[in-house]
Every structure is written in structure tokens, then in C-alpha cells.
Structure 1
Amino acid sequence: MPGGAWGLVLVAGILECAWALGLKWSDGFSRPWPTALTIIGALASFFLLAQAMKTLPVGTAYAVWTGIGALGTATLGIAIMGEPATLLRIAGIALIVSGIIALKLA
């Protein structure tokens, strides 16, 4: 995969966003298709993260993965789910981005 282990973490983080949103759309796992897609997305995300951790430090890989998931999910929550885009929320997202960059450079 282009980007090697970091590419895997990126895709795993994007899939984390997908399954996190899927949890909402599954309506407590009461809707079959969103539930199935959520479970598939979660398993794929975990698998890719595990592959990346073969060569990356566990703490860094996990923190970047969760950061991508939190950043993406918060942003998508604002963009497509109508969640409020308050100044404090935007500042929190900016701090997550800063943390991801710092961990990637460490």
C-alpha cells in the first residue's frame, strides 16, 4: 500500500469514522444494513491498524488512529449530521490535528 504502515493507519482511521457514524445510523443495532456495514467497517479498521502495528510503535499508531477517527467523526458530525460548530468544538478539533501532527513527527 502506498504510504506503507502510515497509509494503513490513515485508511484504518477513515474506516473508524465510517463505523462511528454507522453506530448512529444503525439506531442501536436495530437497522440491519447499517448494523452490518458498521461491523464490517470496524473489523476492517481493526485489521488494518493491527497490520500497521507490525512496524509502528503501538502508542503512536493507536493515538494517531484514534485521532483521525475523532477528527473525522467530529467534522462529519458537524458537516452531515447537523451538530453545532461552536468555537470550542472547532478549537478541540484543531488540538486533535496538532496532536496527530506531533505524534507523526515524533
Structure 2
Amino acid sequence: MLAAAVLSETAAALSLKAALDTPWWYSVVVTGYGVSFVLLSMILRAGAPIGKTYGIWAASGIALTAVLGCLIFGEPLTVTMLAGIVLVIGGVLLVEFGSGRSRIGVDG
């Protein structure tokens, strides 16, 4: 479900760019974001932690949107941007690996 949420959010984000020239793409924008948020709520309802889930969703969406923006729209994808994507993914991994450790501000 998380992969589908990422893909629908990415489709919505890319459709924003396409809608600048062809307004019917706005229907894909609304649908994509709607589907993505419904899927995210279902994942959270199933008990997934919000920090980990949202982090994966956001980082994956950023990376995929940047890469596909380059491939589809010919937008630049510089070394600096790639480094930023790596840093975002690294941050999500830190949240993932740290989620089982001691908690700040809880129990004390």
C-alpha cells in the first residue's frame, strides 16, 4: 500500500507540471493526491508509525519525482540534487533504524 501511495503522489506531482499546458491533467492531480492520502490513512490505521511511514512516503516521492521530472520533462538533475536525494533517504533510514531505540520526551 505504501508503494501505491508513493506512486499516486508522484503521478499527482508530475501532473501538476503537465497541467500547466493541458488543464485536464488537474483531474489526475486531484485523484492522485486523494488516492495517496487515503492509502496513507489506511496504512496508519493498520498500526504503522507515522514518522516512519511519512518519512518513507515523502523521501520516495521526492526522489522519484526528481528523477522522473528529468526523464519526462527534461528538467535538470544535478550532482547537488542527487546528493540531496541521498541525504533525504539517509535521514529516513536514520528514522527507521532509530524507531526502536529510546524515546525523547516519553516516560520521563
Q: TM-score, normalised by structure 1?
A: 0.80
d(CA) in 1 for partners of 2:2, 2:95 = 13
Q: TM-score, normalised by structure 2?
A: 0.79
The answer to whether the 8 A contact 1:68-1:100 is kept is: no
**Unaligned ranges ≥5, structure 1:** 1-7
Question: Which residue number in structure 2 is paired with residue 67 of structure 1?
Answer: 59
From 42, 50, 53, the equivalent of 2:41 is 50
Measured on the aligned residues, the alpha-carbon RMSD in Å equals 1.7
The answer to whether structure 1 residue 94 and structure 2 residue 86 are counterparts is yes
Q: How many angstroms does 1:26 deviate by?
A: 1.2
Larger Rg: 2
The aligned length equals 97
d(CA) in 2 for partners of 1:103, 1:16 = 21
Question: Which residue number in structure 1 is paired with residue 8 of structure 2?
Answer: 15
Amino acid at match of 1:44: V
**Unaligned ranges ≥5, structure 2:** 100-108
Q: Among the aligned pairs, what percent are the same residue? A: 32
